[in-house]
C-alpha cells in the first residue's frame, strides 16, 4: 500500500464518495448532496488543506484530509484531521491507522506540535483515535428543540 497525494482521477473518486464519508462520519445525521459536499471540500482545499490517499494496485482504498487550524482561544496553529475514510470493502485491515500515522508525520514535519479532530459520539473510529493517543479535550452537546 502506498500513501501519497492523489492524482486527478483519484480526486474524482474521492469527490464522488465525500457525501458518504460525511454521512458516516456524522453517524447518519448529515448527508449533503454531491454539490454541497464538493463545496465543503473546495473551501478546505482553498485554505490549504490536503488529501492523502491510500492506494494499492491502482485502487483507492481510503483517504485522509488534513490541514492547519487556529485555536480560537490561543491563536496557536494546530494540525487538524477533517476527514478520514476507508472504503467499506477495505475496512478492518489497518488502513485508517496507516493514514492517521502518515498524517501525524506530515503535520509534525510542518512544525506543528498538536493534532485535533472532531468525532461524533458512537463512531467506531474513536477506538482508533484513542489507541493513537488522542484524548477527549472538549465535549460538544446538542438539544433538539421540538
For 128-139, what is each residue's pLDDT tens digit? 999 999 999 989
Give residue limits of the domains in the chain: 2-131
Mean pLDDT of the region 5-25: 95
Residue 52 in this model has a pLDDT that exceeds 90? yes
The pLDDT of residue 23: 92
Listed in sequence order, the DSSP H helices in 26-92 are 34-46
Instruction: Give pLDDT, residue 119.
Output: 95
DSSP type of residue 144: -
Residue of 110, 47, 55 whose CA lies nearest to 82? 47
pTM summary value: 0.93
Confirm if 31 and 125 have CB atoms less than 8 A apart.
Answer: no
Residue 31: per-residue pLDDT? 86
> Among 102, 67, 83, which residue's Cα sits nearest to residue 22?
83
For position 117, what pLDDT does the model report?
97
| Mean pLDDT computed over 38-64 | 96
3-state secondary structure of 59: strand
Q: Which helix (H) or strand (E) holds 57?
A: none
- Hey, what CATH topology would domain 2-131 get? Aminopeptidase (3.40.630)
Tens-digit pLDDT profile for residues 78-123: 999 999 999 999 999 999 999 999 999 999 999 999 999 999 999 9
Contacts of residue 10, defined as CB under 8 A and 6 or more positions apart, other chains included, come to 53, 55, 60
What are the beta bridge partners of residue 85?
63
Amino acid at each position: 500500500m502506498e500513501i501519497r497525494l492523489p492524482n486527478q482521477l483519484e480526486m474524482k473518486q474521492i469527490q464522488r464518495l465525500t457525501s458518504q464519508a460525511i454521512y458516516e462520519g456524522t453517524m447518519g445525521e448529515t448527508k449533503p448532496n454531491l454539490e454541497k459536499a464538493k463545496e465543503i471540500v473546495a473551501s478546505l482545499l482553498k485554505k490549504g488543506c490536503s488529501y492523502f490517499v491510500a492506494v494499492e494496485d491502482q485502487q483507492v482504498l481510503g483517504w485522509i484530509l488534513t490541514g492547519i487550524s487556529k485555536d480560537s482561544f490561543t491563536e496557536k496553529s494546530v494540525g487538524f484531521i477533517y476527514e478520514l475514510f476507508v472504503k467499506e470493502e477495505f475496512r478492518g485491515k489497518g488502513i485508517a491507522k496507516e493514514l492517521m500515522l502518515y498524517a501525524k508525520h506530515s503535520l509534525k514535519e510542518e512544525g506543528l506540535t498538536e493534532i485535533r479532530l472532531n468525532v461524533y459520539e458512537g463512531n467506531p473510529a474513536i477506538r482508533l483515535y484513542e489507541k493513537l493517543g488522542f484524548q477527549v479535550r472538549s465535549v460538544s452537546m446538542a438539544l433538539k428543540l421540538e
